[in-house]
Amino acid sequence: MFDPATTALLRAVLDEVCESVSRTETGTRTHVASKILEAVTRGATSPDQLKQIGRQALSDAPTMWR
């Protein structure tokens, strides 16, 4: 689906945005990842822009996921 460089960027952004979220909190991480992926499919490619979108998704995640 994505080239290796884009995949690495997406993983790095997700890891940075979710650094305070346990890896066992899969609902929250999945929510953030899906919002980042949506942004990429709409053409967002800037790491800073993707981080901003990821942080917004993290703050919007349902509290039962945090």
Cβ atoms of 10 and 16 within 8 Å: the answer is no
pLDDT tens per residue, range 2-58: 899 999 999 999 999 999 998 898 999 999 999 999 999 999 989 999 999 999 999
Cβ atoms of 12 and 45 within 8 Å: the answer is no
**pLDDT value of residue 29:** 94
Q: Is residue 64 over pLDDT 80?
A: no
Mean pLDDT of 57-65: 78
pTM of the model as a whole: 0.87
**pLDDT value of residue 61:** 83
**pLDDT value of residue 63:** 64
